[in-house]
Structure 1
Amino acid sequence: MLALLAAGSVFFPGLFLVSKRTLKLLMGWSEADAVVLSTRLVSSLQAVLASAAGCIIVSSCRDVMEDRHWLTEAYILFATPYFLYDIYAMFLCYRHKLLVKGHEEAGLVAVVSGYLRREVLMVLHHVFMVTFCFPASLLWRRGRGDYFQGVLFLAELSTPSVSLGKVLIQKQNSLLHRLNGGVVLVSFCCCRVLLFPYLYYAYSRYASIPVLAVPLVAPWQCNLGAVLLWPLQLYWFCLICRGALRQFRRHPNAPPDRTHH
């Protein structure tokens, strides 16, 4: 257990540092650009690893409640430190964006305060993943429901396209950006928005009960996690839809929208 936690604690920050240094030394990128892209690369790699683990687990569990796979708990332990690392990585991105915009005079307290105000939902999401989802997935479920845990890993399938969209923000009128925007819409809807209703539907089939009866028999941890996480996914999906609609309405020769930098 400790070995996997330690491995994740070294792997994700280490990959970030190696990526940033490589971009600066070999590609000649600025510190700010290297930090932002390295953060996106690490996020995308974590998403690929989580999705791969999810595919393996889901395809291996025929009984959605009783079948087990060693990769379930192993990846939970390995990936948990990522969420703490990512809070700091996002802070670095925010700080460097301020420097690029000429706000060098801002003190650390002001920068941290501004970061927490801007990214409060994402920070709370990450803290919730560590403080609640980690013990719920590793301890409270008592070794049952590996299939459902694998499905939850598949939520990360949408992350690479979201990260790519943030990298391509400077080229909003390009075909690649528009195509990736479509991928973001579809993948986020399927992997984030529809995921929670599917979990309840899958259990209703397993237990041969109506879907609406599942919350009455599901563990309170599952219901609490869904109640807190699903509205957040719906909110982010609404923002994605609003951005896509704005992009669709924009004239092809219009300058890119820089309001979300």
Structure 2
Amino acid sequence: MLSALVCGAVAFPGLFYSFRRVLKHTLTQWSDADVITVSERLVSAIHASLATAAGATIVTSCRDTMTDSHWLADGFVWFGAPYMAHDIYAMYLSHYHTRRVRGGETGGHSLQTVKAFLMKDKMLVLHHLVLLLIFMPITVFFRRGLGDFFVGCLFMTEFSTPFVSIGKILIQLGLDDSRLHRINGVVVLLTFFMCRILVFPFMYWMYGRQFGIPLHRVVFHLPLQCNVGNLAILAPQIYWFLLLLRKAHRLYLRQKRGKGDKDRPKTD
């Protein structure tokens, strides 16, 4: 699996560097912040698409939720691990250059800049670190070859990420009031809810169906660490989904006010 790790360590930073070069030379009016932000989102979308494809392959190949295995369950974890570390770095660069554009950062990189980044994106950074430092070792060292089906399901939680990235890129392009952005927002909400929240009861239901256990009793038939681990992954998903709902509500109200202003008759 060392080859998969090396491939990931080359592929994701390489893609990020390539996107930065291409965007900087083709969109010369863009600032470094624009280029880095879009490059980071493009790499994120590619990683998420690969993870979703790997997850779908694993899930459809495993008939037994516990004992069936697929090489991608471990292989993609090794391949994707460098992405988690690199994306933290890419998010920091995006934060740093965005602050410089807005006048909030006049010097070079500093401990204060790092602290500001960690405070702003602490949930995402924590999520990446948990996947890298906890989920990865458990998956490749402590599962004893069991539960590849569930690993595949967790890979498929990334299905909504490309649409999240598309939304941020559309905002970067100044298309946040376009119909495309609104349609993409609806897709984000649907895919996020289905693949990051409903996937957990789906996994419990599939396990219960195999062993003849009602869904509401499955939790009592699984080891405590499995339930705690699932809860630790599910909790931030619910938090982010609520943030998405709040953002969608604000956008709806803003557009409603804008439409009302257009429909209001002009007075002399």
TM-score by length of 2: 0.90
Q: For 1:251, what is the secondary structure of its paired residue?
A: helix
Contact 2:96 2:105 in 1 (8 A): no
Give the structure 1 partner of residue 201 of structure 2.
197
After TM superposition, the structure 1 = structure 2 runs for residues 60-139 of structure 1, keeping only pairs within 5 Å, are 60-105=61-106, 108-139=110-141
3-state DSSP of counterpart to 1:173:
coil
> Which consecutive unaligned segments of at least 5 residues does structure 2 have?
260-268
Encode CA deviations 1:54-111: one digit per residue, 9 max, x unaligned. 1111111111211111121111110011111111111011111101101233561111
Offset of 1:219 from its aligned partner?
A: 3.3
**Does structure 2 retain, via aligned residues, the 8 Å contact 1:67–1:146?**
yes
Question: CA–CA distance in 2 between the matches of 1:41 and 1:171?
Answer: 17
Which residue identity is paired with 2:21? R
Contact 2:19 2:39 in 1 (8 A): yes
1:258 aligns with none
> Does 2:164 match 1:150?
no
d(CA) in 1 for partners of 2:73, 2:39: 27
1:254, 1:168 → 2: CA distance?
19
CA RMSD in angstroms comes to 1.7
Deviates more, 1:165-174 or 1:129-138: 165-174
Counterpart CA distance in 2 for 1:26 and 1:186 is 34
Does the 8 Å contact 1:61/1:146 carry over to 2? yes
- Residue by residue over 1:121-141, the C-alpha shift from the partner in whole angstroms, topping out at 9 and shown as x without a partner, is 111111000111001111221
* Offset from partner CA, 1:172-212 (integer Å, 9 cap, x none): 22101100000001000001111112111211112222333
Letter in 1 for 2:178: S
1:229 & 1:64 partners in 2: Cα distance?
19
Give the whole-Å Cα distance in 1 for the aligned partners of 2:256 and 2:245: 19
Could you say which residue in structure 2 is the equivalent of 1:35? 36
Deviation larger for 104-113 or 126-135: 104-113
* SS in structure 2 of the partner of residue 171 of structure 1: coil
Moved more, 209-218 or 72-81: 209-218
Q: Which amino acid aligns with 1:61?
A: C
Question: How far apart, CA to CA, are the structure 1 residues paired with 2:95 and 2:8?
Answer: 24
Question: Distance between the aligned counterparts of 1:139 and 1:161, measured in 2?
Answer: 32
Counterpart for residue 15 of structure 2: 15
What do the CA deviations read for 1:21-41 (whole angstroms, capped 9, x no partner)?
111123324322111111000
C-alpha distance in structure 2 between counterparts of 1:68 and 1:48, whole Å: 21
Structure 1 CA distance for aligned equivalents of residues 236 and 56 of structure 2: 24
Rounded to whole Å, the distance in 1 between the matches of 2:37 and 2:55 is 27
Equivalent residues of 1:136, 1:221 under 8 A apart:
no
Report the equivalent of 1:259: none
- Range with greater deviation from structure 2 (212-221 or 77-86): 212-221
Q: Given that residues 16 and 39 in structure 2 are in contact (C-alpha distance below 8 angstroms), is that contact kept between their aligned partners in structure 1? A: yes
Residue identity matched to 1:162: V
SS in 2 for 1:104: coil
Q: Number of matched residues? A: 255
- CA shift, 1:114, in A, is 0.6
Aligned counterparts of 2:222 and 2:135: Cα–Cα separation in 1 = 16
Contact 1:54 1:153 in 2 (8 A): yes
- Percent sequence identity is 44
